[in-house]
Chains A and B, each alone.
Chain A
């Protein structure tokens, strides 16, 4: 990877699978992003925003103990871009979140990076 599109970006990973989370973290850090939080449960968004801000969030839909849609809605309200990374189909998305950026598992590293880069490019 010669380009570093995520350079300096502050990214949160919400993923219940330890290995996937570990993998994603490595992937993003290799792309020069700053992974500020890796968590299996919905984090306190306000605290993270207050502590330096968030550029984007990578979200697994199924968090094991529940779905992450409410968190995605919260992000949407807060205008924080997010990318779904999930084993489910896009059809699982509820109506108000349909059309959200989405990558299905298993995704290779390049797609995750490109997905987030796209999201951030659109944002600016």
Chain B
């Protein structure tokens, strides 16, 4: 402008023009021949043009001559400003650099002349920032819609109490629908969409809107039947803020979490409540650590070889062997062992552990549990002991036992039971029918009835019956049994035992016979005594004499009885009998000769022979050889006749001649001549010679003589 002579206050305006922060220049149109604008000539340029654009000596230059390539671009805009009279701002990249320039074109009128002032500034920084903002906006939008979480911006509607009452959705992303189930939410309020929404939600957002403090929370909305994980933050510069809500429906996760928590709780409770000891063990199986459950080993924490510390010495080798084997096979281990716990008590533990294997297949540790089985072991031992005792007792006591399962019909017999039924042990499978088959036919009905009665009455089964063994042998047994019932009173099992009482039965029978026999003998004896007394009376006139004889005879009979009672076999040795009678009559050994083979006499024969010797000795002392210097030979022999053994006994007296005079048939003679044939089916002879009496007894030996002999 320095070259404009028309300026009145050149200095002032020139200085102002030059002081402008923007580069500025004034251009004047150049008219062609037809009056149209063909170019623009620079009238003035301030100092900033030079500094800013690096241009010098531009005044007086035209657009076309100085910037021919740019001229077409600017010509129209200059003309437009000139024509419209309004300023125009153009943002355009620099032709010679990458900068962005903001150019403002303003029309100027001075006098009749008109011009355009162009002010120009570098807007590169602003422009770049704008571009970045646009880009960020695009990215935000993309993210906004691309995320899986729901996002919305809301505006809280406050109630009269100043608390959040409702909220309006300003914006919502694509995921919003899926996360909430709310359709076309933007523009609507929450209560319009879901009238039952809990107060918690608007109140929470209201609080954030007022305080400007972001909150993260998890909450359930029963009205929406969803669980939400929410991050809500304020948007804006001052309260009440808008709220950005980033959220996620975590219902499924919540379900899984809840289930997991419950299951964890259960597991924890289980471990805590467990009466077992849960432990970890090192790969070598030497160190253990309790991880839960009962403190079966006491309170221990130090790490030392647990086998050494707890396991009883006698079990250690076995435990180590089991562990070593499990380690070698990398398979679960199972061991029952006795341990001495911290308080010194010995217990039985059953331990099971499984190996935890690493990726390389090696054992990293063991995990396991130990159960206290002391009680079980003791019970087992007692049971085994009891069973053994029972077995032994039943074998020793010859007790046959049975266990009859009434429902299934299964029947178990002890070994002795098999033998009592006449079977080899295990020879047959026992059944009720098999048992019944062995029962004596006469006892079968009673047996069945007694079993029935016991089953229905609940009373013990008590029975004595006969078993017919396969050999035909009959055994008497005494059986006792008891039924066991279920809670409804149905019979389940019958347990019982029986013993062989055949011997007892025999003895009872034997005793009964003995009593009868004793009665018989006593009565017979009395009858005989009476007969003897009567017979004695007829031959004696003198009472003293009669009494002497009678007593003598009764004593002889008494001796026979006592001899019979003494001898176990109910037979009497003939030699003993003869010698005893001689002793009783004080016959000296040098006055007699006794000789004969061993002969066993029946009781009847013994009685007769005793009485005969008694009579002969009495008579001999009174009238014969024994009353003098005589001598007696008593000899006997045996011989076989008609399939019987006969005894031939001779009594021979040798006395001084004429001494023996008694010839009447007295008690002794009748005994010999009549009773011997009558009772012994033999012969007896009684002869009186000059030298003395000669008696000959011949009779067959028999072992009969008592009803007792009829027993087999």
Q: A19-B528, A62-B707, A64-B704 are in contact. List 10 more A-B contacts (CB 8 A).
A: A17-B524, A19-B532, A20-B524, A22-B531, A40-B678, A41-B681, A66-B704, A89-B516, A105-B523, A106-B527
Contact B678 A92 (CB under 8 A): no
Assuming the A-B contacts A19-B528, A22-B531, A89-B516, are A64 and B523 also in contact, with contact meaning beta carbons closer than 8 angstroms in the complex? no
Chain B: minimal CB distance from A72 (Å): 15
Q: Does A23 contact B (CB under 8 A)?
A: yes
Q: How far is the CA of A118 from the CA of B705 in the complex (A)?
A: 31
Chain B, 498-526, contact with A by CB distance < 8 Å: what is the 0/1 string?
00000000000000000010011111101
Chain B: minimal CB distance from A42 (Å): 13
Would you list the 5 A-B pairs with minimal beta carbon distance, nearest first? Answer: A19-B531, A87-B520, A87-B523, A18-B675, A105-B523
Q: Does B679 contact A (CB under 8 A)?
A: yes
Chain B: minimal CB distance from A21 (Å): 7
Query: Interface size on A (CB < 8 Å)?
Result: 23
With both beta carbons as reference points, the residue of chain A lying nearest to B526 in the complex is identified as: A106
Chain A: minimal CB distance from B543 (Å): 21
With both beta carbons as reference points, the residue of chain A lying nearest to B521 in the complex is identified as: A87
Q: How far is the CA of A21 from the CA of B677 in the complex (A)?
A: 13
Q: Does B674 contact A (CB under 8 A)?
A: yes
Q: How far is the CA of A92 from the CA of B516 in the complex (A)?
A: 8
Contact B531 A87 (CB under 8 A): no
Q: Which residues of chain A are near B657, meaning CB under 8 Å?
A: none
Q: Which residues of chain B are near A89, meaning CB under 8 Å?
A: 516, 519
Q: Does B660 contact A (CB under 8 A)?
A: no
Q: Which residues of chain A are near B523, meaning CB under 8 Å?
A: 87, 104-106
16 sample A-B contacts, Cβ–Cβ < 8 Å, listed by A number: A17-B527, A17-B679, A18-B679, A19-B535, A20-B528, A40-B679, A41-B681, A65-B704, A65-B705, A86-B520, A87-B521, A87-B523, A87-B524, A92-B516, A104-B523, A105-B527
Contact B534 A88 (CB under 8 A): no
Chain A, 63-76, contact with B by CB distance < 8 Å: what is the 0/1 string?
01111000000000
Chain A: minimal CB distance from B300 (Å): 84
Chain B, 662-688, contact with A by CB distance < 8 Å: what is the 0/1 string?
000000000000110011010000000
Q: Does A55 contact B (CB under 8 A)?
A: no
Chain A: minimal CB distance from B708 (Å): 10
Q: How far is the CA of A60 from the CA of B31 in the complex (A)?
A: 194
Interface residues on B, range: 20 to 34
With both beta carbons as reference points, the residue of chain B lying nearest to A23 in the complex is identified as: B531
Contact B604 A64 (CB under 8 A): yes
Q: How far is the CA of A40 from the CA of B604 in the complex (A)?
A: 13
Contact B678 A21 (CB under 8 A): yes
Chain A residues 42 to 64 lying within 8 A of chain B, measured CB to CB, are 62, 64
With both beta carbons as reference points, the residue of chain A lying nearest to B520 in the complex is identified as: A87
Q: Which residues of chain A are near B437, meaning CB under 8 Å?
A: none
Q: Does B104 contact A (CB under 8 A)?
A: no
Most chain B beta carbons < 10 A, residue from A87, A88, A92: A87
Q: Does B702 contact A (CB under 8 A)?
A: yes
Q: Does B530 contact A (CB under 8 A)?
A: yes
Q: How far is the CA of A64 from the CA of B705 in the complex (A)?
A: 4
Q: Does B710 contact A (CB under 8 A)?
A: yes
Contact A88 B678 (CB under 8 A): no
Q: Which residues of chain A are near B522, meaning CB under 8 Å?
A: 87
Q: How far is the CA of A22 from the CA of B170 in the complex (A)?
A: 152
With both beta carbons as reference points, the residue of chain B lying nearest to A60 in the complex is identified as: B524
Chain B residues 698 to 712 lying within 8 A of chain A, measured CB to CB, are 702, 704-707, 710
Q: How far is the CA of A62 from the CA of B710 in the complex (A)?
A: 11
Q: Tell me which of B521, B530, B675, B679 contacts A23 (CB under 8 A).
A: B530
Q: Which residues of chain A are near B681, meaning CB under 8 Å?
A: 40-41
Q: Which residues of chain A are near B531, meaning CB under 8 Å?
A: 17, 19-20, 22-23
Q: Which residues of chain A are near B706, meaning CB under 8 Å?
A: 62, 64
With both beta carbons as reference points, the residue of chain B lying nearest to A62 in the complex is identified as: B707
Contact B679 A106 (CB under 8 A): no
Q: Which residues of chain A are near B524, meaning CB under 8 Å?
A: 17, 20, 87, 105
Q: Tell me which of A18, A40, A67, A106 contacts B530 (CB under 8 A).
A: A106
Chain B: minimal CB distance from A120 (Å): 23
Contact B526 A105 (CB under 8 A): yes
Contact B528 A67 (CB under 8 A): no
Q: How far is the CA of A20 from the CA of B678 in the complex (A)?
A: 12
Contact B516 A88 (CB under 8 A): yes
Contact A62 B527 (CB under 8 A): no
Q: How far is the CA of A70 from the CA of B365 in the complex (A)?
A: 97
With both beta carbons as reference points, the residue of chain B lying nearest to A108 in the complex is identified as: B530
Q: Which residues of chain B are near A21, meaning CB under 8 Å?
A: 678
With both beta carbons as reference points, the residue of chain A lying nearest to B603 in the complex is identified as: A64
With both beta carbons as reference points, the residue of chain B lying nearest to A105 in the complex is identified as: B523
Contact B707 A67 (CB under 8 A): yes
Chain A, 1-41, contact with B by CB distance < 8 Å: what is the 0/1 string?
00000000000000011111111000000000000000011
Chain A: minimal CB distance from B511 (Å): 14
Q: Tell me which of A62, A64, A67, A92 contacts B679 (CB under 8 A).
A: A64
Assuming the A-B contacts A62-B707, A66-B704, A87-B521, are A16 and B679 also in contact, with contact meaning beta carbons closer than 8 angstroms in the complex? yes
Most chain B beta carbons < 10 A, residue from A17, A67, A92: A17
Q: Which residues of chain A are near B604, meaning CB under 8 Å?
A: 64
Q: Which residues of chain A are near B526, meaning CB under 8 Å?
A: 105-106
Q: How far is the CA of A86 from the CA of B675 in the complex (A)?
A: 19
With both beta carbons as reference points, the residue of chain B lying nearest to A26 in the complex is identified as: B534
Contact B520 A88 (CB under 8 A): yes
Assuming the A-B contacts A21-B678, A23-B534, A106-B530, are A67 and B520 also in contact, with contact meaning beta carbons closer than 8 angstroms in the complex? no
Q: How far is the CA of A88 from the CA of B516 in the complex (A)?
A: 6
With both beta carbons as reference points, the residue of chain A lying nearest to B535 in the complex is identified as: A19
Chain A residues 96 to 114 lying within 8 A of chain B, measured CB to CB, are 104-106
Q: How far is the CA of A20 from the CA of B516 in the complex (A)?
A: 19
Contact A20 B527 (CB under 8 A): yes
Q: Which residues of chain B are near A16, meaning CB under 8 Å?
A: 679
With both beta carbons as reference points, the residue of chain B lying nearest to A85 in the complex is identified as: B527
With both beta carbons as reference points, the residue of chain A lying nearest to B523 in the complex is identified as: A87
Q: Which residues of chain B are near A40, meaning CB under 8 Å?
A: 678-679, 681
With both beta carbons as reference points, the residue of chain A lying nearest to B602 in the complex is identified as: A64
Q: Tell me which of B520, B674, B710 contacts A66 (CB under 8 A).
A: B710
Q: Which residues of chain B are near A17, meaning CB under 8 Å?
A: 524, 527-528, 531, 679
Q: Which residues of chain A are near B704, meaning CB under 8 Å?
A: 64-66
Chain A: minimal CB distance from B702 (Å): 7
